[in-house]
Amino acid sequence: MQVDRRTLIATGAAALVAGPAFAQRRASSAWYDRAIIIDGLGGLGDPYTPEEQLRMSDRGWIETLQTGVTVIRDTVMPVGNVVDPWGDYQKAIAEKKNIFNANPDYLLPVKSAADILKAKREKKLGVIVGTQDTSMVGPELDRLAQLKKDGVLTVQLTYNNRNLAGDGALEPANAGLSKLGRATIERIEAEKLLLDLSHGGARTMAEAAAHAKRPLVISHTGARALTDHVRNTSDETIKAVADKGGVVGVYFMPFLTLDSHPKGEDLLRHVEHIANVAGEDHVGIGTDNGPFRSSSMPKRRKS
């Protein structure tokens, strides 16, 4: 059975929407079982365990496995302009390591492309650790080297509000990328970390995509041409990311429609639109939820 990339993306999106119930009905789709499915912005969590429990339950693990998701990108906090972002980061990365240590038979921290294949082969959930802000870095760019040592592979430049690197999506000034933001991108790339522009203001994302030299991502967004919302991305920026070899992921969030009640067909419209703008090799999925719906996930582990 030959399956093109666009069919794979659409069916993978449908599988993630439906969750374990879909997994139980897809016995004839052997290609899906063989596929590597990556959620570009998900989250670890188990709704069947107490919040303080780090070990996944048998039920939580079985249902995670049934989705067929191979790898998720999970967020290490903090996000936003908190009082002690570096201190909060150190606590959060230590907790992330504790979760991995509590689930060595279920979870595989991804450090390389080979680990993605290993996760698939060993029937584990691969986890890529990334930030959703550079608030913990600020002007101390050497901290990016420490993030890399800690196993962080992706760095999101801004969250919703302004930080020292630039304006986020909710900043009305839309002032764009700062001088420090340009230096931050250069250091992210020097460390061979993956730059993520999600949550950026429109001008910040456009300027950052233009400044970047290496492939980059907008891990979780939608098409602004379809839904004019500040968290969605213009066709011009989508194309700029694709032209540098990057990927734009579509999220499972209310911002896919103006009434905040998107359906499966709305998700697929955004996937199709971005594929048409960027090329089918440059569109992905970044649910902003993970294998379980966010409403059922413990707040402590929600991204």
Using the predicted structure, report yes or no on whether residue 5 has a pLDDT greater than 70: no
**Res. 73 pLDDT band, cuts 50 70 90:** very high
Distance CA 8, CA 139 (A): 41
**Tokens for 184?**
């931050």
| Residue 15: partners with Cβ closer than 8 Å, 6 or more residues away | 22, 23, 26, 32, 37, 67, 68
| Residue 195: partners with Cβ closer than 8 Å, 6 or more residues away | 154, 155, 157, 185, 188, 189, 208, 212, 214, 216, 217
pLDDT of residue 31: 85
pLDDT in tens, 18-34: 454 444 554 456 888 89
Using the predicted structure, report yes or no on whether residue 11 has a pLDDT greater than 60: no
Domains annotated for the chain, with CATH where assigned, are 5-301 (3.20.20.140)
* CB-based contact 167:204 (threshold 8 Å): yes
* CB-based contact 235:225 (threshold 8 Å): yes
Average pLDDT, rounded, for the chain: 90
Q: The pTM is what?
A: 0.89
pLDDT in tens, 121-151: 999 999 999 999 999 999 999 999 999 999 9
pLDDT of residue 293: 57
pLDDT in tens, 75-99: 999 999 999 999 999 999 999 999 9
pLDDT in tens, 234-284: 999 999 999 999 999 999 999 999 999 999 999 999 999 999 999 999 999
